[in-house]
């Protein structure tokens, strides 16, 4: 059996990963968090849940969340965000601009880094900030 939550990398290995890898994982973490939140707070059908989730997971929304919470982040967390934001990514989704997409990548990088480095309490704190 595969253990999907087996985060066996030590912190030094996590630090050596590309910020785009952190963002890749963070995207999944955030998407699952939002989907679970919506299922737990709504009786909507799947299509409506999808439409609602887009309001949270689109680049503009993530960029705005990062702006809202950045003064509550530690220096190390801000550095992780900066590294994610400044990493060259040659993909730009529709309905977004370069600045929003860069900041959303920084936000996702932070979530992925916290998840991979097993900083679950801090990850939960930050995710809860996203809803207020």
72: phi then psi, degrees, rounded to nearest 5:
-100, 5
27 catalytic per annotation = yes
Per annotation, catalytic residue among 3, 27, 88, 120 = 27
Residue 117 has φ and ψ, to the nearest 5°, of -90, 10
Neighbours of 84 (CB within 10 A): 28
End-to-end CA gap in the chain: 38
Helix (H) / strand (E) containing 35: helix 19-41
> Mutual orientation of helices 59-69 and 46-57 as an angle, nearest 10°?
50
Q: Which residues are catalytic?
A: 27
């Amino acid at each position: 059996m595969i253990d999907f939550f087996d985060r066996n990398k030590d912190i030094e290995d996590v630090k050596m990963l590309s910020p785009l890898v952190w963002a890749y994982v963070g995207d999944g973490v955030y998407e699952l968090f939002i989907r679970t939140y919506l299922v737990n707070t709504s009786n909507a059908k799947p299509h409506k849940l999808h439409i609602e989730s887009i309001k949270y997971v689109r680049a503009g929304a993530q960029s705005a969340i990062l702006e809202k919470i950045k003064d509550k982040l530690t220096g190390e967390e801000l550095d992780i965000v900066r590294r994610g934001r400044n990493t060259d990514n040659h993909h730009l989704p529709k309905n977004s601009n370069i600045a929003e997409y860069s900041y959303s990548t920084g936000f996702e990088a932070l979530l992925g880094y916290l998840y991979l480095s097993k900083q679950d309490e801090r990850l939960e704190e930050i995710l809860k900030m996203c809803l207020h």
